[in-house]
Amino acid sequence: MEELKKIIREVPDFPKPGILFYDITTLLGDADAFSNVIEILAERYEGRKPARVVAVDARGFIFGGALAFRLGVSFVPVRKKGKLPWETVSASYELEYGVDEVHMHRDAILPGEPVVIVDDLLATGGTAKATIELVKKCGGEVMECAFVVELDFLNGREKLKPTPVFSILHYDK
């Protein structure tokens, strides 16, 4: 895992002073590293195959789409408000200054279907918690939330309990 951490670029003071941004574009630009991440996720879920992979707009789509393809299962996009063309369910979450919401087609998941939610990074957990809510509104069952990077110091996984959380890389600062 340390090899993957070395590939992720750390950008100080982005998007504002005092924030250390973990830039996954360098990981995406390394074919071996990107493939390694997808294989780690695929190995985790092959034995208990989900019916669908649900991924969060936008960077989550990169990992979620590749994982769904690798597992041979359906892919479900979770998007920002106004981006999906049909009837949706929605869930809101808090931002630093205000509230935002995510949407998913109301027929994207069938009742009782097990799903894995995938995103690139777990920070405070707001978006992931809203995504769990969307899955439940459709009657689906969240097996686990999976992330490439988790910022442990922000305690996002606490907000997702009792849903299991798996992260490949952990940062404590």
Catalytic residues: 59, 96
The residues, ordered by sequence, that sit 6+ positions from 106 with a Cβ below 8 Å of its Cβ are: 86, 87, 88, 89, 137, 138
CA distance 146 to 42: 11
Q: Is the link from the previous residue into 12 a cis peptide, with omega within 30 of 0?
A: no
Which two three-digit tokens encode residue 164? Answer: 């299991």
CA distance 55 to 17: 29
